[in-house]
Amino acid sequence: MSADAAGTEPDGRSYGPDDGILVAEDLRKEFGGLTAVDDLSFAVKEQEILGFIGPNGAGKSTTFNCVTGTYPPTDGTVYFKGDDVTGIPAHDMVKEGMSRTFQEFAPLEDRAVVKNVELALAPDELFTLSGMGGETEQLAREICRRVGLGGVMDQTPAELPHAGMLKLELARAIATQPDVMLVDEPFAGLSADEVQELTEVMESLRRHGMTLIVVDHNMRGLLNLIDRAFVIQFGSKIAEGTPEEIKNDPEVQEAYLGGEEI
């Protein structure tokens, strides 16, 4: 997918349900008098890796909390696979095929890493034989190996290093078998080698048909991964384009002036 796929003009163009696998149209979220997301519109194409970037407090998390159903938006519409999914509960959104990782990960401390992943494979049913034949455990082990947790999957999450926790979050999201996966700050606090390892995992997911949205406050580490970046500030879009275009965009540089490096 290239930069001009979904409209490169930073000015407001309207989006319809068929503009991509995930489309937000005039999304708005107010908390009391504070507008966290200000009529934001964007579209994510199938099998693309989109970087969703903005300085701290720009409204990235709020946007995706609205999109994934953590709380309903004040106004606007979210289309997923062409259907209106605005305001449906988070767990139903996962069933629709959209999963996410969390920055403040909270793995289940009472069970091994592989069991954490296995939970994501359990069906949302009260009476089930799922797991009886051991096949969900096999699948959970396979997912652990894919994300690089092969050697530590029988340990408890408390024993994992920071990178291991990020991988576990990724594995849990993968195990829900999503079509679109939202990855929140996957590279925070990782070494260059670990960034490379996770980049490869995400690229292989994309090759297998997954669409990824990577949320981060800067583009460090994302340059080799994303096809397109979408930059927001104060809840509105300020730029959209290839990573190179974004780096040279005057408005983006303004937004990051005196703060962090884009």
Partner 1 sequence: MATETPLEGDVDRRRRRAVVEKLLLRDLALRHRLGILGVGLLGLVPLLAQPRELNQFTSVLYLMMFAISWDVVSGYTGQLSFGHAFFFALGGYGTSVTVNQHLLPLAGDLGLTLGPVGTVLVILGGIVGGTLVAALGGVLIGVPALRLDGPYLSLVTLIAPLLLYQSLIIFSESLPVLAPGGLGGTSGLLNAPPSFVGIGELNTAVTVDQQWVGAVARYYISFLALLIVLAVTYGVTRSAAGSVFTAIREDEDAVRSVGMNPAKFKIFAFVLSAAIGGFAAAVWMHAGPNAAPNTENLFGSGRINLSINVIVVAIIGGMGTIVGSIVGALFFAFADAVVGGLVPNLKPLPTFLLGMLALVFLPRGVVPELTRFGRRLLAWRRGEVDRLLERDRSPSTLKRTAEKYREEIEEIVGGESR
Interface contacts to partner 1, rule CB under 8 A: 89-92, 94-95, 99-100, 102, 106-111, 115, 118-120, 122-136, 138-139, 142-143, 146, 156, 158, 172-177, 205, 208-210
Q: Where are the alpha helices (DSSP H) in 147-216?
A: 162-175, 192-207
In angstroms, the Cα distances linking 242 to 85, 186, 218, 219, 226 are: 28, 20, 14, 11, 8
- Indicate the SS3 state at residue 22: strand
Strand partners, 77: 25
- Indicate the SS3 state at residue 123: coil
**Residue pointed to by tokens 């384009």:** 241
Taking the least distance from each CB to partner 1, the nearer of 31 and 260 is: 31
State the nearest-atom distance from the C-beta of 223 to partner 1, in Å: 25
Taking the least distance from each CB to partner 1, the nearer of 120 and 232 is: 120
Contact between 133 and 216 under an 8 Å Cβ cutoff? The reply is: no
Strand partners, 57: none
Taking the least distance from each CB to partner 1, the nearer of 18 and 142 is: 142
- Half-sphere exposure (Cβ direction) of 205: Cα atoms closer than 13 Å: 29
Taking the least distance from each CB to partner 1, the nearer of 128 and 253 is: 128
State the nearest-atom distance from the C-beta of 207 to partner 1, in Å: 9
State the nearest-atom distance from the C-beta of 83 to partner 1, in Å: 17
**How far is it, in rounded angstroms, from Cα 104 to Cα 88?**
23
Taking the least distance from each CB to partner 1, the nearer of 4 and 142 is: 142
State the nearest-atom distance from the C-beta of 47 to partner 1, in Å: 13
State the nearest-atom distance from the C-beta of 131 to partner 1, in Å: 5
State the nearest-atom distance from the C-beta of 211 to partner 1, in Å: 13
Taking the least distance from each CB to partner 1, the nearer of 41 and 211 is: 211
